[in-house]
């Protein structure tokens, strides 16, 4: 396979109706040899959205954590693979309250746009690997 093609696999974890904190989700992904989903392009966002909804854009059980987190030391958002974010899908007026909301979720009520969240909030999550 040519170097210009990247295989990106993503899984949606929704097996706990109470959801998971960001840290719990991160730990589960790492146990599987993955990271919280790195959604760093329009194509990856569309693929994850499809996986979450099962192809039906009106069906979604809950918000979904992704691997984007605010890093205070650089005053910017970094993906769970350590790469600083360059592509994002923020909702209007986001990122919001980064002094307390360091984690990011896909919000089901705003067409799966990126929304900041307190990391102790409980959501479903997605893992990915390349």
Kindly indicate whether the domain formed by 9-129 is annotated with CATH number 3.10.100.10: yes
Closest CA to 128 of 51, 69, 57: 51
The domain spans of the chain are 9-129
Query: Residue-wise pLDDT tens for the chain (130 aa)?
Result: 333 334 556 667 666 678 899 999 999 999 999 999 999 999 999 988 888 887 776 666 689 999 999 998 889 999 999 999 999 999 999 997 777 889 999 998 998 999 999 999 999 999 998 7
Q: Provide φ and ψ at 63, rounded to 5°.
A: -60, 155
Handedness of CA 45, 52, 37, 108 (dihedral sign): positive
Give yes or no for a contact between 67 and 36, defined as CB atoms under 8 angstroms apart: yes
- Measured in whole angstroms, the distance separating CA 19 from the mean position of its chain's CA atoms is 14
Strand pairing category for 64-71 and 124-129: parallel
């Amino acid at each position: 396979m040519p170097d210009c093609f990247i295989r990106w696999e993503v899984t949606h974890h929704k097996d706990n109706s109470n959801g998971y904190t960001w840290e719990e989700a991160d730990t589960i992904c790492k146990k599987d040899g993955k990271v919280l989903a790195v959604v760093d392009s329009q194509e990856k966002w569309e693929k994850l959205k499809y996986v979450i909804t099962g192809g039906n854009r009106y069906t979604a059980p809950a918000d979904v954590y992704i691997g984007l987190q605010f890093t205070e030391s650089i005053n910017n958002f970094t993906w769970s693979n350590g790469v600083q974010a360059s592509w994002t899908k923020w909702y209007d007026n986001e990122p919001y309250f980064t002094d307390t909301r360091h984690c990011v979720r896909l919000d089901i009520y705003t067409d799966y746009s990126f929304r900041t969240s307190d990391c102790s909030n409980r959501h479903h999550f997605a893992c990915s690997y390349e």
